C-alpha cells in the first residue's frame, strides 16, 4: 500500500512528546512490511538539519502530477533552498476539488447561538491573496528506509522555539495558518494532485493535520481511487480550538461552519474535521477509546465519538526496541538483560550520583519522567512526598512544564538533599539512565491515552506504578490482582492512594525473589511495533475494501 503519514513531529527530526516516537516507530514498522510509506511534516530547522540524504527539492504545482524542477544534492543533511513558488490552486471558499461537503445527521455538540458562517475578514490567509513559496524537501528518516517529505515554508516554520510554541512557551499566534497548510498540502499529495504519487491511505495525526480529511473529502464521488483516511487521536485534550474569525480567515467552505463539522460551541475546532469525515478513527489504547466516549474524558466531543463508535479503534502503541534495549543502550553505565539483570544495580548507583542523590543501596529509587503538569500527577507525587520519604525511598525526577510545579519540585530537592533529585528540562540520555537506574517508575497520571514510559520501564526491569487509566490500564497488571502481574495500580488518583501503593510495592521490593519475578515478566514481554503495525495494516485493508461514501 501507498501510505501518506501526516504528522507535526517525528523523532529524531522534531519531538515534543509521544507523537514523535509513534511517528518514527509506526512508519518504520510499516516500511519494514514492504509498504510505500511517505512521512509528511513541516520543515522545522531541526528537521532540515537532521534529514538524511540523498536530498531532493520538489516544487508543488497546481495541477495533478506536476513536479516543477527537481534538485538533488550529495549531502546527507537537508539544507532548504529558496526555489521558486509552489502553490496548490483552490477556488475561493472551497476545498481542493471545487465542491463543498454537505452536512448530514444530528449535530453531536450544541453551539452557542446560530451556527452561521462568520463573515470573511481582511488579511485572509488563502492562496487567492497570499502566495506561499512552498516546496517539498525529500529525504529519509534517519536510521530507516522511510521516505520523508518536509513542507518547506520558511515564513511558517523557520522559527526559534518548539513546533507549536515560542521559546517562552506561548503558542505561535498563527498556528491555525501553519497547520492549515500542512493539512491542505497533505490532501493534495494524497489525492495525486501533486508530486506524481497518490496514496491509498492518508493517515493524519492529532489536530495539526485534522483538516486533511476535510480537503480530501471534497474530491468527486466519481473519483473511485480517492484515498481512504485514518485519523489518530494521541491526546484529545489538544483539539486545535480557535476563534470563529479564524474560520473566515482560512476561507474554509461555508458548509463546514456547522456543529456537525468544524463549529464547536461557537469556535473553530480543527479536530472535528477529522472526527466527522475520516473513514476510520484510532486512538492509542482500547481503554482510552472507551474513555473518550464519556463526558469525563471526551472534552465536549464524547457525543460525536459515540456516534462514530463503530469506526473508533484502540490500538496500543509499540516502542522502538532497538533504541530502548538495556542490553545495548549506549546511554547506560552498564548494560544488562532479562537473563542477566545484575548490572541494573550499577545503573542505580550511577543515576543517583548524576542527579544528586545519596548512594544508598538500601534505599529504593523511585523515578519519574514527563511533563510537569497536573495531568501527569506530579502534584500527587508532591502531596505524597512525606510518606514516600518516610518509607525510605529516594526520588529522581526529570521533566519540565508548569512553572509552579517546577518551583515546588526544586524546593523539595533543596529541602531534602540527597533524597530528592530534580532535573528541569529533558535529556534523552538521562531519561534512559533514570529508566535503568530506578527500582520503581511512577506514572500517577489522571488520564493517559497510551503512555510509553511504562513500556520502557517494563523493558528495563523497572516495574511501573500507575493510575489505571487509558493505556496504563491496558499494559500494567497489578501483581495483587493478576497472577502474571507486572506492576502496581493505585486505587484512586490521589496522594494518599499513591503513597499507599508505593508502600505496598516496597514490601515486594524487600523480597528480592518475588521482585525479580515481577521484573522478569516485564522484561520478557513483547512491546515492539510489530503487533501495532499489523493492527494498522488490517484496518487500512478493511477500509480500502469498503466503498467510499460521502459523509
- Whose CA is closest to 11, among 472, 450, 322? 322
In the numeric block, the cell 469525515 is attached to 277
In the numeric block, the cell 497510551 is attached to 450
Query: What angle is formed at CA 465 by the lines to CA 363 and CA 313, rounded to 5 degrees?
Result: 160
CB-CB neighbours of 118 under 10 Å: 17
DSSP string, 44-106: -HHHHHH-EEEEEEEEE-SSTTBEEEEEEES-SS--------B-----TT--TTS--PPP-S-
Helices within 121-174 (DSSP H only): 154-157
Query: In whole angstroms, what is the distance from residue 424 CA to residue 400 CA?
Result: 5
Query: In whole angstroms, what is the distance from residue 399 CA to residue 373 CA?
Result: 10
* DSSP state for residue 38 in the 8-state scheme: E
* Interstrand relation of 267-269 and 263-264 (parallel, antiparallel or unpaired): antiparallel
Strands, E, within 296-432: which ranges?
Answer: 312-314, 365-369, 394-399, 420-424
For residues 319 and 527, is the Cβ–Cβ distance under 8 A?
yes
DSSP string, 249-285: HHT--GGGSSTTTTEETTEEEHHHHHHHH-SEEEES-
**Which residues fall within 8 angstroms of residue 409, CB to CB, at 6 or more apart?**
372, 378, 382, 397, 420, 422, 424
The annotation status of 15 as a binding-site residue, yes or no, is: yes
DSSP string, 304-344: HHHHTGGGEEE------TTTS-TTT-TTSSS---SS--TTH
**Which residues fall within 8 angstroms of residue 28, CB to CB, at 6 or more apart?**
141, 144, 145, 146, 320, 529
**Which residues fall within 8 angstroms of residue 401, CB to CB, at 6 or more apart?**
371, 372, 373, 376, 378
For residues 24 and 320, is the Cβ–Cβ distance under 8 A?
yes
- Whose CA is closest to 374, among 292, 462, 467? 467
Binding-site residue positions: 15
Binding-site residue positions for ADP-alpha-D-glucose: 15
Amino acid at each position: 500500500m501507498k501510505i501518506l503519514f501526516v504528522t507535526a513531529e517525528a523523532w529524531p527530526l522534531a519531538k515534543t512528546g509521544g507523537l514523535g516516537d509513534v511517528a518514527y516507530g509506526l512508519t518504520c514498522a510499516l516500511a519494514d512490511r514492504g509498504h510505500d510509506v511517505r512521512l509528511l511534516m513541516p520543515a522545522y530547522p531541526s528537521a532540515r538539519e537532521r534529514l538524511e540524504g540523498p536530498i531532493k527539492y520538489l516544487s508543488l504545482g497546481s495541477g495533478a502530477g506536476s513536479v516543477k524542477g527537481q534538485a538533488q544534492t550529495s549531502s546527507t543533511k537537508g539544507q532548504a533552498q529558496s526555489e521558486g513558488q509552489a502553490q496548490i490552486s483552490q477556488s475561493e471558499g472551497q476545498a481542493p476539488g471545487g465542491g463543498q461537503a454537505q452536512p448530514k445527521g444530528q449535530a453531536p455538540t450544541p453551539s452557542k447561538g446560530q451556527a452561521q458562517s462568520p463573515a470573511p475578514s481582511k488579511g485572509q490567509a488563502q492562496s487567492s491573496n497570499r502566495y506561499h513559496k512552498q516546496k517539498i524537501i525529500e529525504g529519509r528518516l534517519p536510521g530507516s528506509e522511510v521516505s520523508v517529505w518536509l513542507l518547506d515554508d520558511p515564513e511558517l516554520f523557520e522559527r526559534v522555539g518548539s513546533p507549536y510554541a515560542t521559546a517562552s512557551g506561548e503558542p505561535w499566534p498563527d498556528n491555525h495558518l501553519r497547520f492549515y497548510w500542512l493539512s491542505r498540502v497533505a490532501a493534495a499529495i494524497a489525492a495525486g494532485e501533486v508530486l506524481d504519487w497518490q496514496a491509498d491511505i492518508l493517515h493524519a495525526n492529532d489536530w495539526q493535520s485534522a483538516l486533511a480529511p476535510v480537503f480530501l473529502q471534497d474530491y468527486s464521488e466519481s473519483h473511485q481511487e480517492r484515498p481512504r483516511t485514518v485519523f489518530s487521536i494521541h491526546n484529545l485534550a489538544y483539539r486545535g480550538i480557535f476563534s470563529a474569525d479564524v474560520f473566515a480567515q482560512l476561507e474554509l467552505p461555508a458548509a463546514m461552519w456547522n456543529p456537525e463539522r468544524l463549529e464547536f460551541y461557537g469556535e473553530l475546532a480543527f479536530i472535528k474535521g477529522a472526527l466527522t469525515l475520516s473513514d476510520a478513527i484510532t486512538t492509542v489504547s482500547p481503554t482510552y477509546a472507551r474513555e473518550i466516549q464519556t463526558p469525563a474524558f471526551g472534552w465536549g466531543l464524547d457525543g460525536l465519538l459515540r456516534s462514530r463508535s463503530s469506526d473508533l479503534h484502540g490500538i496500543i502503541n509499540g516502542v522502538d526496541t532497538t533504541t530502548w534495549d538495556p542490553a545495548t543502550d549506549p546511554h547506560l553505565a552498564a548494560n544488562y538483560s532479562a537473563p542477566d539483570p545484575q548490572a541494573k544495580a550499577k545503573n542505580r548507583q550511577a543515576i543517583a550520583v548524576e542527579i544528586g542523590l545519596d548512594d544508598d543501596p538500601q534505599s529504593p529509587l523511585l523515578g519519574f519522567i514527563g511533563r510537569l503538569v497536573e495531568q501527569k500527577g506530579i502534584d500527587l507525587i508532591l502531596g505524597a512526598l512525606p510518606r514516600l520519604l518516610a518509607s525510605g525511598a529516594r526520588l529522581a525526577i526529570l521533566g519540565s512544564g508548569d512553572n509552579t510545579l517546577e518551583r515546588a519540585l526544586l524546593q523539595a530537592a533543596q529541602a531534602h538533599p540527597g533524597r530528592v533529585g530534580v532535573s528541569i528540562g529533558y535529556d534523552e540520555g538521562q531519561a534512559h539512565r533514570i529508566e535503568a537506574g530506578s527500582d520503581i517508575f511512577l506514572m500517577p497520571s489522571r488520564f493517559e491515552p497510551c503512555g510509553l514510559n511504562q513500556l520502557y520501564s517494563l523493558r528495563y526491569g523497572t516495574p511501573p506504578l500507575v493510575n489505571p487509566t487509558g493505556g496504563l490500564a491496558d499494559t500494567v497488571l497489578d501483581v495483587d490482582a493478576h497472577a502474571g502481574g507486572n506492576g502496581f495500580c493505585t486505587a484512586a488518583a490521589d496522594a494518599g492512594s499513591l503513597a499507599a501503593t508505593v508502600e505496598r510495592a516496597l514490601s515486594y521490593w524487600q523480597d528480592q525473589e518475588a521482585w525479580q519475578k515481577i521484573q522478569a515478566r516485564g522484561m520478557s514481554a513483547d512491546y515492539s511495533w510489530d503487533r501495532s503495525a499489523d493492527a494498522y495494516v488490517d484496518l487500512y485493508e478493511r477500509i480500502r475494501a469498503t466503498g467510499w461514501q460521502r459523509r
